[in-house]
Structures are given as structure tokens and as C-alpha cells.
A and B are shown apart, each in its own frame.
Chain A
């Protein structure tokens, strides 16, 4: 097994467009959730979302821009930023041993929504010729591969809300086992079409709008939590063997040390304590560390009634008496739930939390819940509390639980 370094971070997300912007917003607890302004927003019970400020025309020539759905726009720009940050130009031989690993839950759903509007809404057969290419789930990964000429595996993972943690974990496995020398891994999601929002709403998973301040509508681990708020964006990281990173003098953001997977088979949506605990234990085992070495956790923390109490119980199951002394951050309160991209964004935030030794706050936690009685770093960041080793949890509809273990950069 080779040690794996994270040497590049690229983000296009509600909190900002580079690592320091995103970290500062999360540290300060500045929520990017606001009233959603799309056509038909009045048809939503709670028209809320965490949107990205993004003009594709600044990044793409018109024919290329039209060929890509918003999810691929995000993915390509985030990947470009990650490679720029990693400052690693690949030789032709290195490109053969470089792969792309992208998670997305809904792929090009906005383009599909537009196509259905044409077909059913307008009763027209004038479906645009690029719809398949815009809508297919593997388009974001494919465009990253094309843009950077990466000739190794190009894989897309769709395990709902854990998609991008799975993508990063699967990339880590290949780099750690010597199958690849460079991987770009993460996730992208652009789910803010009316069709997708209505579908999420119909499942009764979305938060009510906070009457006083819409920005505070997502309240993970709070007694008065009412659901999640959808967000959009992409987060990609460059992974490479530790020795390679050292040899080329790369700036190392942190080390990915383990990855655990488990599956809940009890129900398609209901999370299970056993499965979540099993994924955490699998991550510890994979990293070769004891539970006692985990200093902080970035929780899945969606703000739904079901997740937050079950996740609390799973953390207690694994960490026992020590659970209440582990700072647990639920950053979705400020960046929303980016579905297939959320695990990657939270992995990035965890890296930055370790790098800056700051436990990020769980915002909008005003009403304690007896079933959520751990230390969630409520409402204010805590300096000096992230320690050296963290876990980033991602749990999903469909039952695929993925946990990443990471460590601050040290030789």
C-alpha cells in the first residue's frame, strides 16, 4: 500500500470558488442558502436552495457550452481548478496512469427537465440533438477526461448522497494499490430544476422555510430540524502517491488514509445504525487506526429527522464513552445538500479543517434534541479542535454508506 496525498483542490460551490473562500465561509458559518429564484419557484412549498454564482460563458466557447449540462460545466471548471492547484503537468506516459472518478446522483437532470418541457409541456417533438450527451450521468467525468487527456479509467459512481465519497474512496484504492499514479476524484451535481425540486419535495425530505431567516432553514442535529436544503456545485481533488508528491515538491493539503463502505439493506431510504457504524469501522480498519485516534468528524448531518438521530447513535456505537468528546461538524447547514457532490465538498472542508486546526461549526443549532446529544460544535467554529485525524461521513438513499478517513499532511 502506498500513502496517498491530496495535492489539488478545485471547487465550484455555494460557499465560493476556491479553498480559502469555502473554508472561510464555513468557518464563519455564513449560510449560502437563500430563496430560490427559478421559473416556477412559486410552486414549491419552500423555494430554498444553495446556488452557485456561475456564468458558464466565462469558461466555455459557445458550442462547447451548449454541449454540456450545468453539472458538467461545474465538473470541468472544478477539475481545471484542482489541476491548477496541484500544478502537475502530466507527460503522455503519466496520462495513461491517470484516472477520473466522479460521483453524481442526478447527472444532467436540468437538461432532461428541459427536454421533457419541450416534449410534454409544449407538445413538441423538437428535442435538441445534444440531450443524450447533456443528460447522461457519465458526461461530467468524460469531459474532465477529454479536457485533460486522462487515458486511465474514467468512472462515474451514482450512489445518491454518497456518490462522491465513493468516487474519492475508489480512486484512493487504485492509487494506494499502485494501479494509478494520478487520480482526479470528487463529485458534481446540478439538481435545481423545478422537476427535481418537486420530486424531492414530494418525498417530504426538504426543510420548511425558517420564518425569520430563510438562510437558517437547514438545522442539522437541532430538535426543530425539518429536512434538508438542496445545493449545487462540484468539488474535485487530485490524489497521487505521497512519494510522487514529495519528489516533485508539491504542496500537500492532507493525506487520505482510509475508506469504508457498507450497505443498509433494511429499507431504501431509512438509515440504519448498524450500517452506518459498519462503514465507520470499515474506514478505521482500512486506515489501520483505532477509534481512539479519530479527533473530529464531518457528519453526514442532513438536517432530516431520520438521519441525524441515527447518525448520532452510530457514532456512539463506534466511539462509546468517547463519542461525546469528538467535535462533529454538519456543514450542510451552510452549503446545503449537494447530493452526489456533497461528500467531496465535505471531504475538502475536512481537509481544510485539519490544515487550519479548526473544528467547523454546525450552524442553526438552537434547540437541543435529546436524541442528538453529542458535541456538534454548535454555531461557532472552535480553533485548535480538529486535531490530526478526521472522518467524513456520507450516507445515502439506496443504503450505500461511505466513510473517508483523512489526516493532516505530515512527512
Chain B
């Protein structure tokens, strides 16, 4: 399965979304995934792909933004050690997951 298909499967399973709505330019917020939903989604994605999300905030708005981020992480995974990150270390950011922190109002 491609990255797109795997992420789509997570969204369909966890959020009961219609796969047809998950086009590359679909906005996550319009799909009902708010900042909290993003934190949870990223947690599932880390498990699915065995990657660790970067600590730097990064704008994630659309379905393709998620796919691109994960593809990048997979590509760099073998070439460098994962950035120091786990949810506990990131806790002072309040949002838990740093990507979500960027989306917080």
C-alpha cells in the first residue's frame, strides 16, 4: 500500500470518514479533524509507519500535507537518527504533539 492509502485507511477506520472525500486537497478541519484530532491522528500515524514526528511546528492543513510529511520522514528515517521526541518530552507544549501545537488557536 502507498502512504496515501495507509493514511486514508486510518482516517476511514478511526473517524468513519468516507474514503471518497479524502482527496489530496481535502482540508482536515473540513473533515472534522481539529487540533485535538490532529494530535490523535499523528499518534496513530507514528504507530503505523514507525516514524517519530519532528518537534518543530509545521503547517498541516490538507490530506496531502500529511502524506508529504510522512513520506519525508520515511525518506530521512534511515539517513539520520530520529529527532529527540516523545510525547512526554513534548508535554510542556501542552498540545502533546508538536504538529498539533501549530494548529492550536
* Contacts from A to B (Cβ < 8 Å): 61-63, 66-67, 125-130, 132-133
A130: chain B residues at CB < 8 Å are 36, 39-40
Given A62-B15, A63-B37, also A128-B88 (CB < 8 A): no
A126–B87 touching, CB < 8 Å: yes
A132: chain B residues at CB < 8 Å are 96
CA A374 – CA B87 in complex, angstroms?
Answer: 57
Given A63-B32, A66-B40, also A129-B87 (CB < 8 A): yes
CA A312 – CA B87 in complex, angstroms?
Answer: 51
CB distance from A247 to the nearest CB of B (A): 39
Total number of A-B contacts with CB less than 8 angstroms?
38
B97–A129 touching, CB < 8 Å: yes
Q: Which residue of B lies closest to A131 (CB)?
A: B96
Q: Which residue of B lies closest to A62 (CB)?
A: B16
B32: chain A residues at CB < 8 Å are 63
B96–A129 touching, CB < 8 Å: yes
A67: chain B residues at CB < 8 Å are 36, 40
Nearest 6 A/B pairs, CB to CB: A129-B39, A129-B96, A125-B86, A129-B43, A127-B87, A129-B40
B47–A126 touching, CB < 8 Å: yes
Q: Which residue of B lies closest to A61 (CB)?
A: B16
Given contacts A62-B14, A128-B40, 8 further A-B pairs with CB under 8 A are A61-B16, A63-B15, A63-B40, A125-B86, A125-B88, A126-B43, A127-B87, A129-B36
B97: chain A residues at CB < 8 Å are 129
A126: chain B residues at CB < 8 Å are 43, 47, 86-87
Cβ of B28 within 8 Å of any chain A Cβ, yes or no, is no
CB distance from A64 to the nearest CB of B (A): 10
Given A63-B32, A66-B40, A67-B36, also A129-B100 (CB < 8 A): yes
B39: chain A residues at CB < 8 Å are 129-130
CB distance from A358 to the nearest CB of B (A): 46
A127: chain B residues at CB < 8 Å are 87-88
Q: Which residue of A lies closest to B46 (CB)?
A: A126
CB distance from B84 to the nearest CB of A (A): 12
